[in-house]
Amino acid sequence: MALNEQQKARLALAGRLRELADHSSESELRNDLSRSYYSLFHASLVLLGRDWIRHENLPNQLDQIYPALGRTVEELSKLRERADYEPDFVTREFSGDLDLFRAKTADWLEQGRTAYERLLEEIEKRVS
């Protein structure tokens, strides 16, 4: 069956809608990495009792409390910077393979979720 132009356009739209529904478009994945980092940043400020800290200083501050947390935040901070500011990030680091980027992003987001939960545990200890 040959598709007419309207059907091709409809399928292209369906694909873009599916990406949005699955939160799996490149731009959404980049946004997810950024938001994951910023959830850690703001929770870290609470843990550290600070109103602000330079992003590059945050991992060292967290290292004093829980070294693995500092390393995770540092890694996610670097990812956030690449996702936010490097237009060729996916092309360069994943050869443009969006499926590979999706899989790796899922891993990074899980690391962020685990680090966030660890931050909340540390905050709870200090509040109790």
| Assigned domain for 44 exists | yes
Q: What's the predicted TM-score (pTM) here?
A: 0.82
Kindly report, residue by residue over 43-73, the tens digit of the pLDDT.
Answer: 999 999 988 999 999 999 999 988 889 999 9
Kindly report, residue by residue over 99-117, the tens digit of the pLDDT.
Answer: 999 999 999 999 999 999 9
Q: How many CB atoms lie within 10 A of CB 107?
A: 9
Number of domains present in the structure of the chain: 1
| Assigned domain for 100 exists | yes
| Assigned domain for 2 exists | no
Are 59 and 77 a contacting pair, CB within 8 Å? yes
| Assigned domain for 18 exists | no
CATH at 106: 1.20.120
| Assigned domain for 51 exists | yes
| Assigned domain for 1 exists | no
Provide the domain limits for residue 70. Answer: 24-127
Nearest to 44, CA basis, from 83, 80, 74: 74
| Assigned domain for 14 exists | no
| Assigned domain for 39 exists | yes
